[in-house]
Amino acid sequence: MNMPTYDVIVVGAGAMGSAAAYRLARRGRRVLALDAHAPPHRMGSSHGGTRIIREAYYEHPLYVPLVRRAYDAWAEVEAESGRTLYVRTGGMMVGPEGGALVSGARASAVEHAIPHELLSADEVRRRFPHFRVPEGMAALLEHRAGVLLPEACVEAHLALARAHGAETRFGEAATGWREDGEGVEVTTAAGTYRADRLVLAAGAWMPELLGGLLPLQVERQTFHWYRPAEEPEAFGPARCPIALWEYGPGRFLATFPDVGGGVKAQIHHEGALTTCSDVARETTPEDEAPVLELLRRFLPGAAGPLVDTAVCLYTNTPDAHFVLDRHPASPRVVVASPCSGHGFKFASAIGEAVAALALDEPYPLDLSAFAVSRFAAAPAA
């Protein structure tokens, strides 16, 4: 049998795959990155103009070391690529003081000594008059939060990967893979490729590539952009922090400042379950109605004419935590990117972690919480 053509094949070249391809190629490995489309594109999970990056992580304090590394790694990619990828805006987590959002963010901030302020509704209204925080709610203000520019991030990672010698093949979907004693083989409609190692980072296409390994669900999400109805300058990144709003127990709205193209708003989760092949790619008035209602409630000056919409796919695990691990039955294969709708901010660091896993090298941060073995569906190695 022929020896592997590549050191590593990366299937999926969105946020996680592009970062992994870059980090592997930067280490001098022969890398092939495959994608069913031409990244950055709107068919998966790595788009939308802006994505939040925040450090006081309400989901769990275990993410804080990883997001801190991600901040540093994004800065490295900005320096090497010469592109702006991160815009600091500050960030507010708004909701009942004892709710999941504010209390969770505060727990992470306290445990990891993250600079923050806890503001009353009146204090928020004084400092950010366009924010309408209801009585009975509070806000945790985190100063280093901001937005990443996802299309630019993917483009930068891919350009740097190619600059370091990686090969990219787009419009070429992986239709299958297998591991044998000498390496890994990946098939596409165009041919068959061999490598010593394989990284699966295909986002919403992971259920098809993994079979029954993980109990994944793909969720349809929608983004909506609005032209501010009043004081447009008040909604730019200098004056309008990113915000998460807990508008009901465990129910969240995300709002983003206008960095060009309008103020963006989305309901986080609550989307219909779907698949990559069956998803409704066009938004409807029914998608927009609850978003606009919430925007009028919390950020009314932003609720002007609708400018644009987009569909995004979340690939969710049952516990909403990531999977970053070797395949239990195929140790040459690394499984990455089922990130449950909150992974983009980590992509720069996840690329490093995936590269370390693929090359059997140590990674300085603890990834044990992201192991495949926590799911009963995972077979024994």
- Active site residues per annotation: 47, 50-51, 264, 268, 312, 345
Residue 379 has pLDDT above 80, yes or no: no
| 147 close to 261: Cβ distance less than 8 angstroms | no
Q: Which of 254, 262, 256, 263 is nearest to 221 (CA)?
A: 254
pLDDT digits (tens, 9 = 90+) for 277-309: 999 999 999 999 999 999 999 999 999 999 999
Residue 49, pLDDT > 80, answer yes
Dihedral sign, Cα of residue 50, residue 218, residue 74, residue 240: positive
The answer to whether 272 and 219 are in contact (CB under 8 A) is yes
Which of 187, 190, 114, 107 has the alpha carbon at shortest distance from 145? 114
Q: pLDDT tens for residues 112-160? A: 999 999 999 999 999 999 999 999 999 999 999 999 999 999 999 999 9
Token digits of residue 332: 């040459």
Residue 285 CB contacts under 8 Å (≥ 6 apart), including other chains: none
Assessment of whether the complete model's pTM goes beyond 0.85: yes
Other beta carbons less than 10 A from residue 338's beta carbon: 30
Average per-residue pLDDT for the chain: 96
- The more confident residue out of 381 and 167 is 167
Contact 109, 56 (CB under 8 A): yes
103, 138 contact by CB (below 8 A)? no
DSSP string, 320-376: S---EEEETTEEEEEEE---TT--GGGHHHHHHHHHHHHTT---SS--GGG-GGGST
Sign (positive or negative) of CA dihedral 342, 343, 344, 349: positive
Alpha-carbon dihedral 284, 290, 292, 293, rounded to 10 degrees = 150
Which distant-in-sequence residues (6+ apart) come within 8 Å of 146 by Cβ?
52, 53, 86, 87, 88, 89, 90, 91, 237, 242
Q: Using the predicted structure, report yes or no on whether residue 174 has a pLDDT greater than 70.
A: yes
